[in-house]
Structure 1
Amino acid sequence: MEQFISRITRLTLTATATACLALTASACDSSTGAPAPAHTSTRASAKPSPRPTATPALDRQAALNLIRHYSQVNNQANARDDARLLDTVENDALFAMSVGGYKQDSGTPAKDRKPYKPWSYDVATARLYIPTFLPGTPRWFAAGLTQTGTRHQSLVVFAQQSDRSWQMVLAPDLDGMPLPDIALDAQGYATAVAADGSATPGFDAGKLRTGITDIFATGGKNSGAQFFTPTPASKRQTGIHDKDLNRLGKKGTTAFAAANNVWNTAYGLKTTGGGAVLLFAHTHTQTDTLAPGWQLTAGPETRAWLGRTPRTAVTDTFVCNDAALIPTPTAKAQLLGYGCELTAADGPPAAPMMRM
């Protein structure tokens, strides 16, 4: 939640005589209406089909109009936590995060909530990265956007849906990092690259998800260090690990882990240096387990899911949007930015405590 015809040509055949209405293997003599002798000396040669042409996902003005429309509808939906309305402009991981935010709001009495402040993307400064696609290829585009009146910058993705509508699906914050240098052709269009490692092994969002989870879980001692070089964004993730791992002290333990991530579509853009920017989502959990004799009562963040029933353990599930730069196919990735939202919380109820 941002606050942040084919044309089929019909040939009409006009016959010169009734006998010509039936098309057979032999030709028709137009002077008599009788079948003409078959010609065996020549054979028609089929022309090769033209190669499919890649075309832009959409034009620039249409992209800017989508960004304006998103800001307007997002504000209307956020003002009243209207998930149905938001569903007309958001999808996939970003929508799941927004709905999680709405759910979290429901656990706080209306009188205690901060007034909603409308916002918008500054379309005048938008940097559009519109790839070209062959027919039948899923279409999407990215944009570097700043919230009006701030330096708060995001790298967002809009994807065309099966009903041909366009919806925003990712919007990772860039944590103060500059926009990457996306390669543009002479017409100003970007180049999409496969982000699943199928074309270039180094451009693999699945691998990066594993590394990010390791940064949360271990501070990046394993695959986090293997796949990423430190950036302000990854250091912020390491800081979350360091701060939360022992925050319960003798009262319990905290552990981070990967969770089932159902939003596996990732997006890649070629950079000027031959690398790529990958935009994707990941899901992780944070589990607090209380030591015997201790129990936890949900705070405002998780009350909508847990109520006020004391728990012996609580598992929070977070869905996150991530942006990573891979300077070259063989280089380590740089986490440009990310954003997470609580989307679920669960835990076993505590047994009633004995009173003396």
Structure 2
Amino acid sequence: MLALAAGLLAGVTACSGGAPPAPTKAAESSSARPSPSAPEPAVTREEAAEAFAEFIAADDLLRVRSELRGRLQQAKDLTVGGQAALTVAAYSTTDYAPPRYRWGSPTLLVPRFPPEERAPWFSALVTRDDQPTLVTFARSGDDWQLSSAARLLPGQELPPVALDADGYATAVAADDKSVTISPQFMGPVHASVAETGKSGVTAGLLAPGPYTTEVAEQIATLRGDAKFNELSYDSIFSADNYPVYGLRTENGGALIQYSLSRTSTTKNMVDKSYKIPVPEEASRWLTGGTVRLSLKLTEVHQYATVVPPLTAPAAAAVIAHDGGLTGAVGQ
């Protein structure tokens, strides 16, 4: 990890006077033919707008209260990655009638992928229930699925995304080395900071805050409290195989979107008569308020983080987040 941290930080001529010369035959032939137009991108802005509108309509229809519980599978089919687990939890914990969202008009951020791109995606900044939210959709075959949704944190704004003359964005490759943290390392770095905080080898790569160093402080406190009660406690973050999306910002940095899972486990090590309390938010999975031997809570969190260019190294900043509990098991 120390090597990882070090690697992440290293790392038409104008003519004047007289009549113009007569064109050559090659020039005449060239000027007679129109210049070939740039190939149409794998996803046009119009297609992205249509996909967004279709998702909103389908998602809203499925969230209407109904006795048809089969809607859960349909809703899950609209999602992928971290959103799939969050969607299942949202439906199963609300009697299959999760809250309906109020969506605003999106500002589309569509990367210019080549026509042969097999896994295109696009993002949009949109108000959801009056809160600015960064959402990302990925295409699978002919279908579009919601992959990520993270609300901008209070006081945060989306950095200017670099756009070409036609309004298309640029995707940042997973192994891009022009930024302080490549997209492929964003999840592991965040997981390390959330677990070890300011004392870990990745300290300083991410700015301190409620979703980074403060999480590590919370884990340390809970571990100490558990030990006092003769319990063991640990909380592990993992990037799993969730997709990662990067957009180039105007300053040469990147806006990276990614997901992490969190697994927190409490075990009764000595006094088997002691009851482990079940958090209220986990009561949909575990009734009775307590368990005797062990409690495991699983969560999924989605983030958007602004990463500086390598030419101006600084701590990356988490600017958006959403997520929550997706399951609980006790015995």
Q: Same fold by TM (over 0.5)?
A: yes
Which residue, 127, 137, 142 being the options, matches 1:158? 137
- Residue pairs, 1:141-152, within 5 angstroms: 141-148=122-129, 150=130, 152=131
Report the residue type matching 1:255 in the other structure: D
What does residue 301 of structure 1 align with? Answer: 281
Q: Over residues 297-322 of structure 1, what are the superposed CA-to-partner deviations in whole Å (9 max), with x where a residue is unaligned?
A: 54553344445482322121212211
- 261 and 166 in structure 1: CA distance in 2 versus 1, 3 angstrom threshold: same
Which residue, 111, 128, 134 being the options, matches 2:114? 134
- 143 and 244 in structure 1: CA distance in 2 versus 1, 3 angstrom threshold: farther
- 69 and 283 in structure 1: CA distance in 2 versus 1, 3 angstrom threshold: same
What does residue 28 of structure 2 align with? Answer: none
Which residue, 39, 50, 56 being the options, matches 1:65? 50
- Residue pairs, 1:1-356, within 5 angstroms: 55-80=40-65, 82-105=71-94, 117-123=99-105, 126-137=106-117, 138-148=119-129, 150=130, 152-162=131-141, 164-176=142-154, 177-194=156-173, 196-197=174-175, 200=178, 202-231=180-209, 233-234=211-212, 237-238=215-216, 240-241=218-219, 244-248=222-226, 250-251=228-229, 252-259=231-238, 261-263=240-242, 265-293=243-271, 294-296=274-276, 298-308=278-288, 310-329=291-310, 330-347=313-330, 349=331
CA contact (8 A) 2:191 2:238 kept: no
What does residue 31 of structure 2 align with? Answer: none
Q: Over residues 242-265 of structure 1, what are the superposed CA-to-partner deviations in whole Å (9 max), with x where a residue is unaligned?
A: 6644454722343211347132x2
The 10-residue stretch of structure 1 (293-302 or 240-249) with the greater mean CA deviation from structure 2: 240-249
CA contact (8 A) 1:214 1:220 kept: no
Cα distance in structure 1, aligned partners of 2:37 and 2:44 = 19
Cα distance in structure 2, aligned partners of 1:67 and 1:283 = 26
CA contact (8 A) 2:86 2:326 kept: yes
Q: Over residues 321-342 of structure 1, what are the superposed CA-to-partner deviations in whole Å (9 max), with x where a residue is unaligned?
A: 1111112134432111222222
CA contact (8 A) 1:319 1:340 kept: yes
Cα distance in structure 1, aligned partners of 2:92 and 2:100 = 19
Cα distance in structure 2, aligned partners of 1:204 and 1:307 = 43
CA contact (8 A) 2:179 2:254 kept: no
CA contact (8 A) 2:262 2:300 kept: yes
Aligned length: 285
CA-based RMSD of the aligned residues comes to 3.1
Q: Over residues 135-176 of structure 1, what are the superposed CA-to-partner deviations in whole Å (9 max), with x where a residue is unaligned?
A: 32121111111125x2x12111111112x1111111122212
Cα distance in structure 2, aligned partners of 1:211 and 1:88 = 30
What does residue 21 of structure 1 align with? Answer: none
Cα distance in structure 1, aligned partners of 2:104 and 2:221 = 35
Cα distance in structure 2, aligned partners of 1:215 and 1:199 = 21
For 2:93, what is the secondary structure of its paired residue?
Answer: helix
CA contact (8 A) 1:275 1:325 kept: yes
What does residue 14 of structure 1 align with? Answer: none
Cα distance in structure 1, aligned partners of 2:63 and 2:199 = 39
Cα distance in structure 1, aligned partners of 2:221 and 2:40 = 48
For 1:68, what is the secondary structure of its paired residue?
Answer: helix
Cα distance in structure 1, aligned partners of 2:126 and 2:216 = 26
CA contact (8 A) 1:121 1:145 kept: yes
Runs (5+) with no aligned partner, structure 1: 1-50, 350-356
Question: TM-score, normalised to structure 2's length?
Answer: 0.74
For 1:193, what is the secondary structure of its paired residue?
Answer: coil
- 55 and 222 in structure 1: CA distance in 2 versus 1, 3 angstrom threshold: farther
- 136 and 61 in structure 1: CA distance in 2 versus 1, 3 angstrom threshold: closer
Report the residue type matching 1:280 in the other structure: Y
CA contact (8 A) 1:67 1:121 kept: no
Cα distance in structure 2, aligned partners of 1:186 and 1:262 = 34
For 1:56, what is the secondary structure of its paired residue?
Answer: coil
CA contact (8 A) 1:68 1:121 kept: no
- 79 and 144 in structure 1: CA distance in 2 versus 1, 3 angstrom threshold: same
Cα distance in structure 1, aligned partners of 2:40 and 2:209 = 36
Report the residue type matching 1:145 in the other structure: V
The 10-residue stretch of structure 1 (336-345 or 129-138) with the greater mean CA deviation from structure 2: 336-345
For 1:55, what is the secondary structure of its paired residue?
Answer: coil
Question: TM-score, normalised to structure 1's length?
Answer: 0.69
For 2:150, what is the secondary structure of its paired residue?
Answer: coil
What does residue 5 of structure 2 align with? Answer: none
